[in-house]
Amino acid sequence: RLFSTLKFKRGDFARLVDSDITHFESIVGKENVKTTELDLYNTDWMKSFKGNSTCVLLPQTAQQVSAILKHCFHRYLAVVPQSGNTGLVGASVPVFDEIILSTSKLRNNFNLDLSSGILECDSGFILEELESRLAPQGYIMPIDLGAKGSCLIGGNVATAAGGIRFIRYGSMHSNVLGLQVALADQNGTLLELGTGLRKDNSGLHSHHLFVGSEGQLGIITGIKMLVAPKPTSICSMWLGTDSFEKCQKILREAKTKLGEVLSAFEFLDAETLRCLKENENLDKPLETASKYNLLIETSGSNPVHDMEKVDGFLSYCLENELAKDGILAKNQTEASYLWKLRETATLALMHDGYVYKNDVSLPLKYYYELTDVVRERLGDKAIRVINYGHLGDGNAHLNITTKKFSQEVYDLLYPFIYKWVTEKGGSISAEHGIGQLKKPYIHLGKHEKELSLNKELKKIFDPKGILNPYKMIDL
Ligand code: FAD
Ligand code: 2HG
Ligand code: ZN
């Protein structure tokens, strides 16, 4: 059963007619206008949201995107920008019959400046493909996430995706240096925002408005961003403890003792490991079961130096009883297994049936408390309540499952969770965004004036409000 709690009312946008299709065919070619077999485009990754679009457009150039948006502006047709459709909040699929503009064929330009490490590319490249193209040149993408095989770099920018390298390379805002965007205005204006230079304080940094804009302001067609030197030495370590207090201490120690090489600090609770075993038959990596588990990675340039540090750190944690057990991956196979556990959690949950997904930022002292509170609140109404996430960034993924969508469980969870989080000074969305899922709760933790400023900004870029309606910024 699809998520049907959220009730939206269709805006008075025009309905698509045959002459629109003919016009789109003249822009992108007949083969790039799809009007049948659109299920994959209409349904989100979680299979929680489903739209009814009858038209998917696959432009290959920024000029084609611009011409499409110009037509949609004049006809008052609503449009949803879609990249890899891996978003987890229902932002990348239509609510009603909006046209889907897929950027998956926007993948011609790719240029890497080897000395500065600045990449310029079209927005339709798959993240993992960029990673493979950069590797032989001695670079990596500064972001990495479980959806890397399907998500596109434009989608990553539009969601300000976080992921597992955030602790080391910072957010998309740290790395994006300029964007080309197409606006849904009367000319389908193509804008170049930011110069793509590492340093440039010659004006407002307006490209940042589009980072995390969830397709509300314009369609990102080109990206200039900093990529990172490829580490030549990578170590992964797993630690288990029964005290969350100790997890926080380990984080503090990792920041000091692993300092310049620390590249990931991830968290999985015992219930996540149970889910991985039950639903994916993946065994926990340590003999002993621990309530809290940490996956820590270092990336550097000197294997001897890094191993010495990591080894010393593991001994320190065990000798000082911060961790009750721990292992260092001895080779790539062992390291991949540890990462497989972390990255398969999202998929493993899906086997239970319906997933209530939460992606919250919390001050560390509250990071796990909410999980216990929710567990208690739901009792046996849920199959499981689990928490994994990017502990090093204060980002918890609290997931609850039931066999089928249950309105009773939904009402017990919301707005309870979001209110709890904002009262503790957290955010209701750390990295996944607002989309449809969190739209009813957007005011929580936000100043009224900031929300109206966002509407004013949307009106400047998207004067008729045809881009991705009903979601993050509703006019
Ligand atoms: P889509 O899902 O297609 O789109 C996402 C949003 O961006 C939509 O609002 C869409 O309208 C808009 N958009 C897309 N392309 C453009 C464009 N070119 N111009 C303007 N707007 C556009 N997220 C994290 O932050 N960290 C994680 O660790 C993480 N792990 C994940 C693991 C899995 C297994 C899955 C399924 C998802 C994960 N996500 C994670 C969610 C996440 O947001 C993304 O996977 C990714 O950044 C979305 O990219 P996409 O190409 O799929 O975009
Ligand atoms: C992750 O960190 C993703 O694995 C997905 O952001 C989180 O499944 C989730 O809730
Ligand atoms: Zn995440």
401 Cα to the center of ligand 2, angstroms: 14
Residues 258, 264: Cα–Cα separation, whole Å: 11
pLDDT digits (tens), the chain, 475 positions: 456 666 889 999 999 999 999 999 999 999 999 999 999 999 999 999 999 999 999 999 999 999 999 999 999 999 999 999 999 999 999 999 999 999 999 999 999 999 999 999 999 999 999 999 999 999 999 999 999 999 999 999 999 999 999 999 999 999 999 999 999 999 999 999 999 999 999 999 999 999 999 999 999 999 999 999 999 999 999 999 999 999 999 999 999 999 999 999 999 999 999 999 999 999 999 999 999 999 999 999 999 999 999 999 999 999 999 999 999 999 999 999 999 999 999 999 999 999 999 999 999 999 999 999 999 999 999 999 999 999 999 999 999 999 999 999 999 999 999 999 999 999 999 999 999 999 999 999 899 999 999 999 999 999 999 999 999 998 8
Residues 195, 312: Cα–Cα separation, whole Å: 44
∠ CA 65-437-384, nearest 5°, is 135
In ligand 2, the atom with minimum distance to the C-alpha of 146 is 4
% helix, strand, coil for the chain, step of 5:
35, 20, 40
| Ligand 2, pocket-test mutation among 346, 357, 432, most atoms within 8 A of CB | 346
**The CATH number of 233-339 is which of 3.30.70.2190, 2.60.200.20, 3.40.50.620, 2.60.40.680?**
3.30.70.2190
| Residue with CA at minimum distance from ligand 1 atom 14 | 155
288 Cα to the center of ligand 1, angstroms: 36
Distances (CA, A) of 22 to 6, 14, 29, 31, 65: 34, 16, 9, 12, 16
The CATH number that domain 18-105 falls under is 3.30.43.10
| Ligand 1, pocket-test mutation among 45, 46, 83, 358, most atoms within 8 A of CB | 83
DSSP character for 284?
A: P
In ligand 1, the atom with minimum distance to the C-alpha of 152 is 51
Q: What is the dihedral of CA 377, 380, 281, 234, to 10 degrees?
A: 10
325 Cα to the center of ligand 2, angstroms: 25
Residues 202, 204: Cα–Cα separation, whole Å: 7
470 Cα to the center of ligand 1, angstroms: 18
Residue 401 Cβ contacting ligand 1 at under 6 Å: no
432 Cα to the center of ligand 1, angstroms: 7
Coil, strand, or helix at residue 75?
Answer: helix
What residue spans define the domains of the chain? 18-105, 110-229, 233-339, 352-433
pLDDT tens digits along 163-216:
999 999 999 999 999 999 999 999 999 999 999 999 999 999 999 999 999 999
Provide the token pair at 218. Answer: 């314009």
Phi, psi dihedral angles at 90 (to 5 degrees)? 70, 30
| Ligand 1, pocket-test mutation among 41, 157, 159, most atoms within 8 A of CB | 159
Task: Indicate the residue type of 153.
Answer: I
Model-wide pTM > 0.90: yes
16 Cα to the center of ligand 2, angstroms: 36
Provide residues with CB under 6 Å of ligand 2: 146, 346, 357, 359, 389, 397, 399
Beta pairing partners, 395 = 361, 390
* Complex-level ipTM beyond the 0.85 threshold: yes
| Residue with CA at minimum distance from ligand 2 atom 10 | 397
The CATH number that domain 110-229 falls under is 3.30.465.10
Phi, psi dihedral angles at 187 (to 5 degrees)? -110, 0
Angle between helix 270-280 and 332-350 (nearest 10): 80
**The CATH number of 352-433 is which of 3.30.70.2740, 3.30.530.20, 1.20.1250.20, 3.40.50.170?**
3.30.70.2740
389 Cα to the center of ligand 2, angstroms: 7
DSSP character for 29?
A: -
Q: Same CATH topology for 18-105 and 352-433?
A: no
